[in-house]
């Protein structure tokens, strides 16, 4: 018999609670939960790249931004409906992710971090300066979504919930499949992985495009919930927020990312008005977690609750 606090029961309950939430909560709670679900998508995607494939890249915030901009701009400039603009934008973001993966095939470690940092700054610069297309620093408004008789906030919430559930399930199945094992092999030793006939180029590209796809979906949903797109949401601080979520939850743990994203969105909301305090809080949290709890909060859960074991945990640091 499955344990009472096993994964299946906990997630069944959580899914029920999330599905019933609109009936119980006020609009603000619904909005924050919606944002949290978007961050769940982002964090799970980033974890596939960082925690499983071990590729340290700063590109995720920029890709998130590209997803949001593409979704918004396709609607505003070409007059497409959201339902066409959104998938096209996701596809475009994924393609950009593949392009970002190109240097990753040749570079590793530090150099990869540098190239993707440059890519992130370049994207930010385009958003600010390519005013003819991106409307510059002020950003632009996106037409509000309508769902027929259903209230827009409610409709968008269920769309986000559905997509988040789907993408988390995809990630969970991916990491337990041959792809997941190959990604972990690449992370733990590229040389050993190659010797075991793991095609490095192929699996790095898979990791980058998967995380870009997740970021694109999150970006499109984010532009819809805010009805507004501006450069400042997609800067380096966004990257730190996502890093914190993945690390606080647990590198190399899908459920850890779900947990980390859910918890830290609350922190971000609480400090919304104070940029300096947000930076200090997330910076400290990231550092403290790396130093004192390197396997994240999920490691505490795993240690205490039976039935939460996840395969492919992060390796012990080399002695």
Partner 1 sequence: MLPYLVVSGLTTGSLYALVAMGLVIVYKATTVVNFAHGELFMVGGFLAYTFHVLLKLGYVVSLVLAVVAALLLGLVTERVAYRPLTRAPAISLVLAAVGFSFVLKGAARQIWGGLGDYIPFPPLVATPAITLGGLILVPQQLVVLAGALICMGLFMVFFTSTRAGKMLQATAENAKAARLAGIRVDRVYAFTWAAGAATGAAAAVLMAPLTFVYPDVGSPLLVKAFAAAVLGGFGSLPGAVLGGFSIGLIENLAGGYIHTSFTDISAFLVIMVVLVVRPTGFFGPRAVRRI
Least distance between partner 1 and beta carbon 318 (Å)? 7
- One of 17, 78, 91, 118 touching partner 1 (CB under 8 A): 118
Does 107 sit near partner 1 (CB under 8 A)? Answer: yes
Under 8 Å between Cβ of 29 and 259: no
Binding mask 154-193 for partner 1 (x = CB under 8 A): -------------------------------------x--
Rule CB under 8 A: is residue 138 a binding residue for partner 1?
A: no
Which residue, 107, 126, 128, is CA-closest to 116? 107
For residues 317 and 294, what is the distance between their CA atoms, to the nearest angstrom? 10
- In what helix (H) or strand (E) does residue 223 lie, and over which residues does it extend? helix 200-226
Query: Which parts of 278-297 interact with partner 1 (CB under 8 A)?
Result: 278-287, 290-291, 294
Phi and psi of 81, rounded to 5°?
Answer: -80, 160
Interaction with partner 1 in 240-259: which residues (CB under 8 A)? 240, 243-244, 247, 251
The one segment of 62-70, 71-79, 122-130, 261-269 that binds partner 1 by CB under 8 A: 122-130
Residues 259-278 that bind partner 1 (CB under 8 A): 275-278
CA atoms within 13 A on the CB side of 24: 7
Sign of CA dihedral 174, 60, 204, 296: negative
Q: How far apart are CA 210 and CA 208, in angstroms?
A: 5
Bridge partners of residue 150, in order along the sequence: 147
Binding site for partner 1 (CB under 8 A): 50, 54, 56, 102-103, 106-107, 109-111, 113-115, 117-119, 121-122, 125, 129, 191, 236-237, 239-240, 243-244, 247, 251, 275-287, 290-291, 294, 314, 317-319
């Amino acid at each position: 018999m499955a344990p009472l606090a096993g994964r299946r029961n906990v997630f069944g309950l959580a899914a029920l609670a999330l599905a019933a939430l609109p009936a119980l909560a006020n609009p603000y709670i619904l909005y924050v939960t919606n944002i949290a679900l978007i961050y769940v998508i982002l964090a799970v995607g980033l974890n596939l790249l960082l925690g499983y494939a071990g590729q340290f890249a700063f590109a995720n915030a920029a890709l998130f931004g590209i997803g949001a901009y593409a979704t918004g701009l396709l609607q505003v400039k070409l007059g497409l409906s959201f339902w066409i603009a959104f998938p096209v934008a996701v596809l475009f973001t994924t393609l950009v992710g593949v392009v970002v993966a190109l240097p990753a095939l040749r570079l590793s470690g530090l150099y990869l971090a540098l190239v993707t940092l440059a890519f992130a700054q370049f994207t930010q610069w385009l958003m600010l300066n390519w005013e003819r297309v991106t409307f510059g620093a002020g950003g632009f408004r996106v037409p509000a979504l309508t769902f027929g008789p259903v209230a827009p906030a409610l409709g968008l919430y269920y769309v986000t919930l559905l997509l988040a559930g789907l993408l988390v399930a995809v990630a969970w199945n991916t990491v337990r499949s041959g792809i997941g094992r190959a990604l972990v092999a690449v992370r733990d030793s590229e040389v050993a992985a190659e010797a075991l006939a793991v095609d490095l180029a192929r699996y790095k590209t898979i990791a980058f495009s998967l995380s870009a796809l997740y970021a694109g979906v999150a970006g499109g949903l984010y532009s819809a919930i805010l009805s507004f797109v501006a450069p400042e949401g997609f800067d380096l601080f966004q990257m730190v927020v996502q890093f914190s979520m993945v690390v606080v939850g647990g590198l190399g743990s899908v459920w850890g990312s779900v947990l980390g994203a859910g918890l830290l969105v609350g922190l971000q909301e609480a400090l919304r008005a104070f940029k300096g305090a947000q930076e200090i809080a997330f910076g400290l949290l990231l550092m403290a977690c790396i130093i004192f709890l390197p396997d994240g909060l999920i490691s505490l859960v795993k240690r205490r609750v039976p039935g939460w074991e996840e395969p492919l945990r992060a390796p012990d640091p080399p002695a």
